[in-house]
Amino acid sequence: MNSLLRPLFGAVLAGTALTASAFPLLSLTASPATVSVGAIVNIELLVSGLGDHTAPSLGAFDVIIAFNPALLSPAGVAFDTGLGDPNASPPEAYPSADTSVAGTIHLINTSLLEANAANCIFCLPPYLDDLQGSAFRLATLTFTGDSPGTTVMSLTINALADAQGEALDTNIQGTAVTVVGTPEPGSLMLFALGCAGLSGFARRGGGARGKIAALDG
């Protein structure tokens, strides 16, 4: 999406109704889905249902991921380059992540690339149609488990635009993360002692049965 298309994306953000041309799925996946307090969990933002190296391609997205801040705390965000490389010269995309509101991460990424050579005779590659398959990862969010419990990771889409700057209707799918507490050292010791006691009892019981068998013989 080049600079001429950014006003169109702005219109999408403002709620202007544009004709939808596809119905992709934006989804979240957790890896792992269960973590201990202090451990790291990665949440991937994925898109599927696009054209496979053809239209429709994804040109921009604006989404909010919500979670329980009492259970998880954000530790980092990494954008993938399916919409272009923000570190290229000149930049091919403008990603941003905002964690200033507790319990949310606001992700925006706008591509400056054209859809394909047919739509822009004097433009140069890479083109979005060449970069994108039908499904790929948009970003990876890293969280740290803070307290035991289960939190739903919900996804809200403010805007989703194709390579032409037109809105894409979409389905969404969230995920959940469970944080479990780590056992106290005293609890681990008691558990170990209990296991040792049961093992000794089993050995003693086996010896007694052997003696009884010998007497019967």
CA 67 to CA 16: how far, in whole Å? 28
Q: In what order do the strands lie in the sheet with 104-111?
A: 34-36, 175-180, 149-162, 58-66, 104-111, 93-98
Residue-wise pLDDT tens digits, 168-202? 999 999 999 999 997 655 545 555 555 555 555 44
CA 100 to CA 106: how far, in whole Å? 9
For residues 113 and 119, the answer to whether their CB atoms sit within 8 Å is no
Q: Dig out the tokens for 50 from the structure.
A: 């696009």
Instruction: List % helix, strand, coil for the chain (3-state, nearest 5).
Output: 20, 40, 40
Concatenating the DSSP letter of every residue in 26-87 gives EEEEEESSEEETT-EEEEEEEEESS-SSSSS-EEEEEEEEE--TTTEEEEEEEE-STT--TT
- Name residue 78's beta-bridge partners: 140
For residues 141 and 42, the answer to whether their CB atoms sit within 8 Å is yes
CATH T-level topology, domain 6-182 = Immunoglobulin-like (2.60.40)
Residue-wise pLDDT tens digits, 142-171? 999 999 999 999 999 999 999 999 999 999
- Name residue 106's beta-bridge partners: 64, 98
> What pLDDT sits at residue 90?
95
Q: What is the mean pLDDT of the chain?
A: 84
Q: Is the pTM of the predicted complex or chain greater than 0.85?
A: no
Q: Dig out the tokens for 24 from the structure.
A: 């992709």
Question: Residue range 122-132: average pLDDT?
Answer: 94
- Name residue 61's beta-bridge partners: 109, 160
Q: Dig out the tokens for 157 from the structure.
A: 């889409």
Residue 128 has pLDDT above 70, yes or no: yes
For residues 113 and 83, the answer to whether their CB atoms sit within 8 Å is yes
Beta strands 25-31; 171-173: pairing state: parallel
- For the chain, the domains span 6-182, 183-217
**Residue that wins the pLDDT comparison between 119 and 32:** 32
